[in-house]
Amino acid sequence: MSEVIDDDSTTVDGSDQGGADRTLRLMAVHAHPDDESSKGAATMAKYVADGVEVLVVTCTGGERGDILNPAMDRPEIKADIGKVREAEMARAREILGVDQRWLGFVDSGFPEGDPLPPLPDGCFALEPLEAATEPLVRAVREFRPHVMLTYDEKGGYPHPDHVKCHEVSVEAFDAAGDPDRYPGTGDPWQPLKLYYHMTFNKERILALHTAMESAGLESPYKDWLAGFEEKKENRANWDVTTRVPCADHFETRDRALLSHATQIDPNGFWFTVPMDVQREAWPTEDYHLARSLVDTELPENDLFAGVREKVCM
C-alpha cells in the first residue's frame, strides 16, 4: 500500500510520521449491547487505564433480545426493551471508561425451531454487505483505530447478528484504507491489526472447571464441556495467539455486565466462579490475530505488539 500523509502527519496505514499523534486507539465491534461486557471488557478497561483511547461500536440496539434476568421480566420493560437496553449500554460504557457508537441497525433476533423461521425484514443480518459496512467504515475513518476486535466467521456462536458483525468488521478493516472504496465516508485510514475474540476457548473453560473442582466447588462448566464435541460445528477452529493479562480489571468487567440488567442475572452463570479462582486459574482474555500489517512475534501478550513501535517511537 502506498503511504498517504494526512493533515496531522499520520499515514493512512496507522503509522506516525511527524509525531503529532502518538495516542494508541482500539475499536471493538459488537453485535448487541451487552456483548462488549461479556467479551473483552477487562481488556478494554486495562487499555483505558493505560491511556489508550477505546471505542465500542454497537451494530444493533438489541431490540429483539429476550429478557434473561427474571427480576427484569416485566411488561413495561418488554414494551420498551430498545430504550431500556440503550440506557443499560450507557451505564456500561461509563463503567468501562470507553466511548461508544451505535450503527443503528435493527436486531435480527435469534431464530429457533426446526425448520428455522425466516429472519425478519429489515434486520441487520439481511442488510447487503456494503450497506451494513458503510457506517462502520465511516466510524473507522473518523476514530482511526490501530487495532480492531470482532468475532470469528461463526460469530463466536451462531447468532445471525454476530456472523454479520464479523462480515462487516472484516470488510471495513480491508476497505477503510482504500480511498477508492466507500467514497463520502471520510479520509482513508488503515487499521494495523484485527483480532477475533476467543473468550470461550476450551483450554480456558477446562482450567476454570478444574480449579472449581479442586476448590471443592460445583463447576458451572460440566455440561458445557460434556457437549463440547457435539457443538463443534458451531465453532470456528482458531488458535489463541494472544493472551492479554487483565485480571486486575475483572471486577470492572463484572460491574459492566451487571449494568445490562435485562440480559444478566446476578445469580446466574456469569458469577458462579469466585473472583480469586478466576484470577488464579485464568488471568487473561484471549484472542486470535486474524490480520496484521506490522511485524509481531507469536504468542503475544499485548494487542498493540508491533503497533507501539510503529506509532509511538
Across 15-38, average pLDDT = 85
Map grid coordinates 449491547 to a residue: 33
Q: How confident is the model at residue 20 (pLDDT cuts 50, 70, 90)?
A: low
Is 166 annotated as ligand-binding? Answer: no
Task: Tell me the domain boundaries of the chain.
Answer: 25-200+239-311
**Alpha carbon distance 195, 189 (integer Å):** 17
**Whether the predicted model's global pTM rises above the 0.75 cut:** yes
What is the pLDDT, as a whole number, of residue 3? Answer: 31
Where do the H-state alpha helices sit in the chain? 35-38, 41-49, 75-79, 81-96, 129-143, 160-175, 202-214, 222-226, 250-259, 275-281, 307-311
The class that CATH gives domain 25-200+239-311 is alpha beta
Give yes or no for residue 229 having a pLDDT over 80.
Answer: no
288 assigned to a ligand binding site: no
DSSP-based three-state secondary structure for 282: coil
Instruction: Tell me: pLDDT of 10 over 50.
Output: no
- pLDDT classification of 312: cutoffs 50, 70, 90: confident
Provide the pLDDT for residue 53.
Answer: 98
187 is in an annotated binding site: no
Residues 172-214 pLDDT 10s:
999 999 999 999 999 999 999 999 999 999 999 999 999 999 9
Q: What's the sign of the alpha-carbon dihedral 128, 28, 105, 166?
A: positive
